[in-house]
Structure 1
Amino acid sequence: MVNISLAYTAKINPSGVTPVLTKRQVWAGLQRKIRFAQEFVPVIESCEVLEDKDGIVDRKVVFKPGMPKSEAREIVRGYEDAWVDFEQEDGTHIRNIISDGSSGDLDDLHMTYMFEFRLPHVQEGEQGQQQKEKLEKTSKMAVESSIEAIRKMVVDGRIAA
């Protein structure tokens, strides 16, 4: 069994990008991502909400081929307006965090995804290292694609401007 811990941070509003996203819009995007994960992360094929009660969502996500697992059941909790926790049955834990930089300006707003992968079918050594390298690329892509999806949703009206 291999445990892989990763984190990746990206600026939400790098220089020249439009529209500039507010924290409120990014939070609305993360709320949508809880229920429609496939709109945000290209490696997710589908997302089915099994239960949505008292701010806790029980969901099943199906991953596209090539990922360490084919599906996962997750309990998802949002902590307005700072982060969302995704906890999988196997102990894998993911957190999506919205954070302000030191200036507090919109061009200093960041998104960080933290991953604590539990991979019981992966062996230590070369196989574990290969899986870590693959997951590092996937982690970076997940953050950047989520920000871009939120931006597109603001433009097309799925998230209020």
Structure 2
Amino acid sequence: MVTVHLSYTSRVNKPEDSPVLTVPQIWAGLQRKVRFAQEFVPVIESCTVLEEKEDGTVIRDVKFKEGAGPKPRARETVREYYPSWVDFEQEDGTHIRNVVSDGPSGEESDLQISYMFEINLPHIQDGTEEKEKEVKKLKGMAKMAVEKSIDTIREMVKDGRI
């Protein structure tokens, strides 16, 4: 089994972006992403909330599009840590964190989102060509997930869903 660690960070508000997203708007988007992941991450086909606990923890089942995700499906325990990050922990030990942070200026409009991944791949052996192919695929998936999430949050702010 191989465990892959990777991350991707993007600026939330580039000069050409409108509207400028704020932390409360980003956070509202991430909360929606917990329950409707397929709206934010194109490789996810469906997301079913199985349980919402009193402490805010969400247990969900995520189904990936065939051949697009690292596995066919995942059961996740999701915890929110306002206003900084959301943790997604899968039953196989895979761990994903969505982090909202200040950019270098510290101004509210200078925000970044990072997605950090610790992905267990039981079907892959270390040092193989298959591992390198999978890492390349996962890096592309990470970039797409961050960029698409930001775009989706911005569209939801524009159309009033957030």
TM-score of the pair, normalised by structure 1: 0.96
Could you say which residue in structure 1 is the equivalent of 2:160? Answer: 157
Could you say which residue in structure 2 is the equivalent of 1:10? Answer: 10
Contact conserved, 1:15 with 1:107, CA < 8 A, in 2?
A: no
Distance 2:108 2:142 in 1: 23
Q: 2:107 corresponds to which letter in structure 1?
A: D
Distance 1:3 1:128 in 2: 10
Contact conserved, 1:113 with 1:139, CA < 8 A, in 2?
A: yes
Q: Which runs of 5+ in 1 are unaligned?
A: none
Structure 1, 115-124 or 144-153: larger mean CA deviation: 115-124
Question: May I ask how many residue pairs the two structures share in their alignment?
Answer: 159
Q: 2:35 corresponds to which letter in structure 1?
A: R
Distance 1:74 1:51 in 2: 11
1:101 Cα offset (Å): 1.4
Could you say which residue in structure 2 is the equivalent of 1:116? Answer: 118
Match status 1:56 vs 2:57: yes
Could you say which residue in structure 1 is the equivalent of 2:77? Answer: 75
Distance 2:139 2:46 in 1: 22
Contact conserved, 2:100 with 2:113, CA < 8 A, in 1?
A: yes
| Same amino acid, percent of matched pairs | 62
Match status 1:148 vs 2:151: yes
Q: Which runs of 5+ in 2 are unaligned?
A: none
Contact conserved, 1:25 with 1:154, CA < 8 A, in 2?
A: yes
Distance 1:68 1:47 in 2: 16
Contact conserved, 1:20 with 1:106, CA < 8 A, in 2?
A: no
TM-score of the pair, normalised by structure 2: 0.96
Spell out, residue by residue over 1:119-153, the C-alpha distance to the aligned partner (whole angstroms, 9 max, x if none).
Answer: 10112211111100000000000000000000000
Q: 1:99 corresponds to which letter in structure 2?
A: S
